[in-house]
């Protein structure tokens, strides 16, 4: 069975600082990996996805993530945090049989950005 | 871009009543939609896969008689919480994708259900 583990339920950064949100996956087959963002009382918005092309994936709002097979990781980064980045971030995995649709989500990481 | 609309955004109901939540794909057809449940400060748990024109596929542990899913058209899926109880209070989110292989999911804005 596939799963993702997000280390840290909360991450706090100052505005302008580097954002690093960690995600490790477990999958017996090459996975598809995703990062989603959720603002309060809203659905999820796709930030970026890894589908086995380039290992460094660039997404919206300046975010990017790097797929590292040797570390089974797909950490999300952003060079400089903005106040508007404060939200809940979810890492998710699916396999090539189900494609992009049947996702297994991590427990989420709340990003707090202070002025 | 593709938009998934979910209605209502919040609902309060009395224990024992039923509540219907709608999920619509506004500018694309979706043969498959997904329903998730999210408890406070927790992740999304897939409840069921809604298939247009056929029965929904429920995940293990989800009561199909309590959470009725109907996907009568290519743009609409409904989730009905029957005989709601306070423990059913949660945030329910639907998602859909274009009927194209490996088309990404689009999520609705969710429905916050409070059962009193």
Q: Which residue of A lies nearest to B92 if distances are taken between CA atoms?
A: A43
Q: Is the model's pLDDT at B101 over the cut of 70?
A: no
What's the confidence (pLDDT) of residue B2?
A: 58
For residue A102, the chain B residues in CB contact (below 8 A) are 34, 46, 49
pLDDT digit string (tens) for B35-67? 999 887 788 899 999 888 888 999 999 999 999
Q: Which of A42, A92, A35, A43 is nearest to A61 (CA)?
A: A35
Residues of B in contact with A43 (CB under 8 A): 4, 6, 93, 95, 107-110
In sequence order, the 6+-apart residues with CB closer than 8 A to the CB of B75 are B24, B25, B26, B29, B30
For residue A60, give the nearest of A37, A38, A40, A39 by alpha carbon.
Answer: A37
- Position A28 scores a pLDDT of 77
What single DSSP character describes residue A79? S
Q: What is the pLDDT of residue B99?
A: 65
**What is chain B's Cα-based Rg?**
13
Say which residues have a Cβ less than 8 Å from residue A24's Cβ, sequence separation at least 6: A4, A5, A7, A71, A72, A73, A74
Looking up tokens 């949660």 gives: B90
Gyration radius (Cα) of chain A, Å: 13
Alpha-carbon distances of B80 from A78, A82, A97, rounded to whole Å: 40, 39, 29
Torsion of CA A83, A81, B112, B69, to 10 degrees: 150
Among the partner-chain residues B97, B105, B110, the one whose CB lies closest to the CB of A41 is B110
Which pLDDT value is given to residue B89? 95
Residues of chain B contacting A35 with CB distance shorter than 8 Å: none
- pLDDT tens-digit map of A42-82: 888 999 999 887 899 999 999 999 999 999 999 999 999 99
Is it true that the peptide bond before B8 is cis, omega within 30 degrees of 0? yes
Give the closest-approach CA distance of A95 to chain B in angstroms. Answer: 11
Residues A50 and A92: beta-carbon distance below 8 Å: no
Q: In the sheet where B67-73 sits, what is the strand order? A: B4-7, B19-25, B76-81, B67-73
What are residue A56's phi and psi, to 5 degrees?
A: -100, 115
Residues 6+ apart with CB under 8 A from A6: A21, A22, A23, A89, A90, A91, A106, A107, A108, A109
A90-111 residue pLDDT tens:
999 987 777 777 788 999 999 9
């Amino acid at each position: 069975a596939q799963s993702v583990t997000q280390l840290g339920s909360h991450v706090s950064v100052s505005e302008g600082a580097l954002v690093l949100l960690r995600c490790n996956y477990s999958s017996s087959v090459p996975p598809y990996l995703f990062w989603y963002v959720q603002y309060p009382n809203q659905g999820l918005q796709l930030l970026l996805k890894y589908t086995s092309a380039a290992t460094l994936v660039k997404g919206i709002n300046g975010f990017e993530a790097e797929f590292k097979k040797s570390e089974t990781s797909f950490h999300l980064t952003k060079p400089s945090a903005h106040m508007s980045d404060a939200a809940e971030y979810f890492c998710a995995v699916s396999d090539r049989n189900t494609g992009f649709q049947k996702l297994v989500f991590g427990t989420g990481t709340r990003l707090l950005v202070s002025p | 871009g593709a938009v998934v609309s979910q209605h209502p955004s919040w609902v309060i109901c009395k224990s024992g009543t039923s509540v219907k939540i709608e999920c619509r794909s506004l500018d694309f057809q979706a043969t498959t939609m997904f329903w998730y449940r999210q408890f406070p400060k927790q992740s999304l748990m897939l409840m069921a896969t809604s298939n247009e024109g056929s029965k929904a596929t429920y995940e293990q542990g989800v009561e199909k008689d309590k959470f009725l899913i109907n996907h009568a058209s290519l743009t609409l899926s409904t989730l009905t919480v029957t005989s709601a109880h306070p423990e059913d209070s949660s945030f329910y989110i639907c998602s859909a994708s274009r009927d194209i292989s490996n088309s990404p999911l689009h999520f609705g804005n969710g429905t916050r259900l409070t059962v009193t």
